[in-house]
Amino acid sequence: MLDGPCIIDFNLDDTPSSMVAFLSRISPILRDMDAGLPVLTELDLRRCKFLGPSAVSLIASIHRHASMRGQAWKVQMPEGPAKLLAFCEFSGLGSLLHGTAAPPSEHPDSETAPLFFIQGPPAGEAERLVRLVARHTELSENNAEYLRIGFNEMVQNVADHGRSPVGCVACARFVASRGQVVVAIVDRGVGIPTKLRSSHPEIPTAAEAMRRVLMGGWSSKSRPNNAGQGISNLAQFSRMLRGGLWIISESAWITTRDGEPLRAGEPRGWRFAGTAVFFTLGVAEPLRPSVP
């Protein structure tokens, strides 16, 4: 445990680089958790000026897992700007961390699908994302279905392989200016590298395991419905809908471009027990500035 808190003095904006930096900064907290310490190092977000669904889902998954294990954890919430304070409330992060009343989840102006927790396989939760986008823009039947299937593929993966004690922790946001929905799904179970390498021990590294699941056809085949296509299908959806996909699992991370693996890495110094999948799909036309 550190003498002081883990201070986040940069923005957590749903980019791979900010999330990798975040995980590196909170590595003492992750180590405390793995060591079973009763009190975890504090997280200080007061200097952070932007949080996205990715950070909210990661923090919520850690918090819920720690609570289940009886580990105490204090988080200092951001102090501004107003838009970030609103996001902290409407994402449900504030109520989760401080036990306050849950915010209204489907306000017509809300750009957020607040944190939700899924135990087991998908059972219609993807409709929350469809309703989120449909509140703000016209959503075609095809794009709504890409969103449903992409989300369900990830939740099914966790149910099949993850054995996550917290199930899936999900959060989403619609970014009207880009016409994109940003979705984060985090679990705290068995990671992709461990699971895949248990049935394919010839795979040399965790990053290589990540690359193979993105390419498709690689699976532990632990259940009859597995053929190793869920993640590669989502990668293809992100290609078709000018979006992106990136994944952190255990000690490795990977990003895509045009549906193909782009960059992968295994940074030293941190390990996230579980898997975090972040994807964006351009389900609507970006807003163009109006011409006077």
Partner 1 sequence: MLIEVSTIYDPTQPVETIGMAVANRIVDALQSVPQDESVRVSLAGVRGAGSSFYNVVLRGVEKWAGMQALETRVRFEFDLKPQEFVFGQSLRALRAERRSSGSRS
Residues touching partner 1: how many (CB under 8 A)?
29
Is residue 231 within 8 Å of residue 215, measured between CB atoms?
no
Cα of 219 vs its chain's centroid, Å = 21
Answer positive or negative: Cα dihedral of 36, 41, 46, 49: negative
Answer positive or negative: Cα dihedral of 58, 60, 63, 67: negative
The least CB distance from residue 79 to partner 1, in Å, is 40
- What is the distance between the alpha carbons of residues 242 and 280, in angstroms, rounded to a whole number? 8
Q: Exactly one of 228, 239, 242, 267 binds partner 1 (CB under 8 A); which one?
A: 228
Is position 239 an interface residue for partner 1 (rule: CB under 8 A)?
Answer: no
Cβ atoms < 10 Å from Cβ of 269: 9
Site map 135..164 versus partner 1, x via CB under 8 A = ------xx--xx-xx--xx--x---x----
Q: Choose among 279, 23, 45, 100: nearest CA to 173.
A: 279
Give the footprint of partner 1 on residues 102-131 (CB under 8 A).
121-124, 126
Question: Look-up: residue for tokens 């105490």?
Answer: 72
The least CB distance from residue 157 to partner 1, in Å, is 9
Question: Look-up: residue for tokens 């823009």?
Answer: 137
The least CB distance from residue 236 to partner 1, in Å, is 7
Is position 227 an interface residue for partner 1 (rule: CB under 8 A)?
Answer: yes
Cis omega before residue 16 (within 30°)? no
Task: Indicate the residue among 143 and 251 with the shorter CB distance to partner 1.
Answer: 143
Is position 216 an interface residue for partner 1 (rule: CB under 8 A)?
Answer: yes
Task: Indicate the residue among 31 and 242 with the shorter CB distance to partner 1.
Answer: 242
- What is the distance between the alpha carbons of residues 181 and 187, in angstroms, rounded to a whole number? 20
The least CB distance from residue 247 to partner 1, in Å, is 17
Residues making contact with partner 1 (CB under 8 A): 121-124, 126, 141-142, 145-146, 148-149, 152-153, 156, 160, 216-217, 223-230, 232-233, 236-237
